[in-house]
């Protein structure tokens, strides 16, 4: 049953002051499931979950508790990758979010250190009379203000509709009527019919130092789509602001039809509300209409000290290639994002050596734009790499460009655009473009040849002539760009992949 922390763990008082004198419940030692542990907890308890995969759809049930993996002990991100809440086997198909926080929990209700995957959302009646929706593939939050930090939220979806369901939103997270703190998460490869990464509906929020990558909005089934590939924000909760700071928002997409918002805001859609956005990277997002940021119906938002591809009016904004170091989106030493954020000292990076930023921030202590800058800067390394190992697809955005296929979803033909760079990676000329299914099996090779620098477009068709005849579903297309000779005796290769949907 419950054990006093001191009786179970011998650890540094200075390191774990947040757990001193707390009551600890261990999973699976005290209870075999996370939900049983929650059910037997009281406010202020800490639930520690050992590594493993837990096929659950857990509810906090109004408990203001700390629910954490062993990441809490030493910030070892491998605990995040290896402590998984998988929502794919719900006891009731209408309640299929990985985590539900829906009973008035406050900021002391903390979810930390997990991988949340394969949730498909919960059937939910909108609090403001808009109808019935499927919401929150990974996490459903309503009338609550929890803290969500240091998690990998991947491959969840809110795309199913059906009789009496208007639409589906919040592939990664759906927030309504609360003021959550969502900090230092990777929100990746989630899908929805609006808000592929996150939905902020009638809510305040603090969204800081997250990576939103490869989330998508598309016409999965009947019903309208409402845009917002990475972030979807609608209406206010009183005067509580929506603060979006130091996030990296990359290669998200918005398509579909049925509303004035459809196909808009591949990066961020702001609708009948306002956001305070600063120090963000917004790059490589795609949409059918408009720009990567979309403001609708008198949205009055401030974007400043941000890198926005294509440009955006605002103090300190820049429009350049962000230049990442590796697949965890650390900034390369040549990135213009270093020391380019808000110069107010309240936004400073943590200090390492005197006057210099503590890694993963770089340069001086002035805020770095993106997820690794600002006072909440923290290592997120290994999240992206470890999360896709079972799919044999490597996400590696280098100094080249792979566009979202169009149309997406498609049947029977779609087009894929990409750029082979001429600067910085000039020796990388051999191009390979392949299509894989979700199990990592190769479906088609579209290109396997040398290409000079330039922009290219390749067509992929199914069921025609010699093209493969494959079933409806999710597929990945991967672009691999290789050097014809080594640089400084080392082989150079950069790889990127994107998701596409075939609907027959």
The reported pTM is 0.78
Q: How many CB atoms lie within 10 A of CB 107?
A: 15
In this prediction, residue 137 carries a pLDDT of 98
- Answer yes or no: are the C-beta atoms of 326 and 300 closer than 8 Å: no
For residue 292, the SS3 value is: coil
Instruction: Check residue 236 and give its pLDDT.
Output: 87
DSSP structural state of residue 82: H
List the single range of 7-11, 28-32, 416-420 with lowest mean pLDDT. Answer: 7-11
* Chain center to CA of 209: 11
Residue 364 DSSP one-character state: B
What DSSP character marks residue 406? B
Among 339-343, 479-483, 495-499, the range of highest mean pLDDT:
339-343
User: What confidence score (pLDDT) does residue 151 get?
Assistant: 96
| pLDDT for res 74 | 87
Quick one: which of 77, 25, 32 has its CA closest to 56?
Answer: 32
Total number of residues shown for the chain? 504
Q: Is 120 within 8 Å of 156 (Cβ atoms)?
A: yes
Write the DSSP string, 421-459.
Answer: -SSS-TTEEEEEEEEEETTS-EEEEEEEEE--SEEEEEE
Name the 3-class secondary structure at 37: helix
Instruction: With beta carbons less than 8 A apart as the criterion, state whether 195 and 170 touch.
Output: yes
Residue 124 Cα to chain centre, angstroms: 22
402-413 residue pLDDT tens: 788 888 888 899
Q: What is the pLDDT of residue 311?
A: 95
pLDDT at 6: 35
Complete edge-to-edge strand list for the sheet that includes strand 442-450: 442-450, 428-437, 473-483, 493-502
Question: What is the spatial distance between Cα 117 and Cα 127, in angstroms, rounded to a whole number?
Answer: 26
Banded model confidence at residue 374, pLDDT cuts 50, 70, 90: very high
State percent of the chain over pLDDT 70.
86
Residue owning tokens 């922390």? 5
Min mean pLDDT across 73-87, 121-135, 234-248, 436-450 is at: 436-450
Quick check: 84 and 114 in contact, CB under 8 A? yes
Rounded Cα–Cα distance for residues 488 and 417 (Å) = 30
Phi, psi dihedral angles at 78 (to 5 degrees):
-65, -25
H-assigned helices in 111-251: none
pLDDT of residue 483: 61
Would you tell me how many other CB atoms lie within 10 Å of the CB of residue 352? 12
Structure tokens at 71: 């990441």
Q: Report the chain's terminal Cα–Cα distance, integer Å.
A: 52
**395-502: what fold?**
Immunoglobulin-like (2.60.40)
Tell me the C-alpha distance between 462 and 470, whole Å: 7
Whole-number pLDDT of residue 13? 37
Most confident of 231-245, 363-377, 381-395: 363-377
Position 241 pLDDT exceeds 50: yes
Q: What is the mean pLDDT of the chain?
A: 86
- For Cα atoms 364, 284, 439, give the angle at the middle one, nearest 5 degrees: 110
Enter the DSSP assignment of 288: S
Q: For position 1, what pLDDT does the model report?
A: 40
């Amino acid at each position: 049953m419950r054990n006093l922390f001191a009786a179970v763990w011998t650890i540094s008082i200075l390191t774990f002051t947040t757990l001193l004198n707390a009551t600890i419940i261990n999973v699976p030692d005290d209870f075999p499931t996370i939900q049983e542990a929650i059910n037997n907890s009281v406010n202020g308890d800490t639930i520690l979950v050992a590594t493993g995969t837990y096929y659950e759809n857990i509810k906090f049930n109004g408990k203001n508790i700390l629910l954490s993996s062993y990441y809490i002990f030493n910030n070892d991100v491998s605990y995040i990758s290896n402590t998984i809440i998988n929502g794919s086997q719900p006891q009731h198909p209408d309640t299929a979010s990985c985590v539900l926080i829906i009973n008035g929990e406050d900021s002391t209700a903390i979810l930390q250190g997990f991988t949340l995957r394969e949730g498909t959302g919960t059937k939910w009646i909108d609090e403001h009379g808009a109808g019935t929706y499927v919401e929150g593939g990974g996490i459903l939050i309503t009338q609550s203000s929890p803290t969500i930090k240091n998690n990998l939220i991947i491959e969840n979806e809110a795309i199913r509709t059906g009789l009496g369901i208007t639409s589906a939103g919040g592939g990664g997270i759906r927030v309504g009527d609360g003021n959550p703190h969502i900090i230092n998460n990777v929100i990746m490869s989630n899908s929805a019919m609006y808000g592929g990464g996150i939905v902020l509906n009638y809510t305040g929020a603090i969204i800081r130092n997250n990576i939103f990558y490869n989330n998508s909005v598309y016409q999965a089934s009947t019903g309208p789509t409402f845009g917002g590939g990475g972030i979807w924000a609608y209406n206010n909760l009183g005067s509580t602001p929506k603060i979006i700071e130091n996030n990296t928002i990359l290669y998200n997409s918005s398509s579909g039809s049925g509303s004035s918002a459809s196909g808009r805001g591949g990066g961020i859609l702001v609708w009948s509300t306002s956001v305070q956005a600063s120090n963000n990277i917004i790059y490589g997002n795609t949409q059918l209409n408009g720009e990567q940021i979309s403001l609708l119906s008198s949205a009055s938002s401030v974007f400043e000290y941000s890198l926005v591809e294509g440009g955006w009016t605002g103090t300190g904004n820049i429009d350049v290639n962000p230049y990442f170091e590796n697949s965890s989106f650390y900034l390369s030493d040549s990135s213009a994002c270093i020391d380019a954020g808000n110069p107010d000292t309240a936004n400073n990076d943590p200090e390492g050596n005197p006057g210099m930023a503590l890694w993963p921030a770089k340069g001086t202590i002035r805020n770095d734009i993106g997820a690794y800058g600002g006072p909440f800067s923290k290592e997120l390394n290994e999240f992206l790499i470890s999360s896709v190992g079972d799919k044999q697809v490597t996400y590696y955005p280098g100094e080249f460009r792979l566009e979202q296929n169009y149309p997406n979803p498609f049947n029977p033909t779609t087009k894929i655009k990409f750029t082979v760079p001429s600067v910085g990676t000039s020796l990388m000329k051999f191009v390979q473009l392949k299509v894989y299914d979700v199990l990592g099996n190769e479906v088609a090779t579209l290109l396997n040849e040398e290409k000079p620098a330039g922009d290219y477009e390749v067509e992929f068709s199914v069921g025609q002539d010699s093209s493969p005849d494959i079933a409806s579903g999710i597929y990945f297309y991967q672009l691999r760009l290789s050097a014809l000779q080594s640089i400084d005796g080392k082989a150079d290769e950069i790889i990127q992949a994107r998701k596409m949907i075939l609907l027959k």
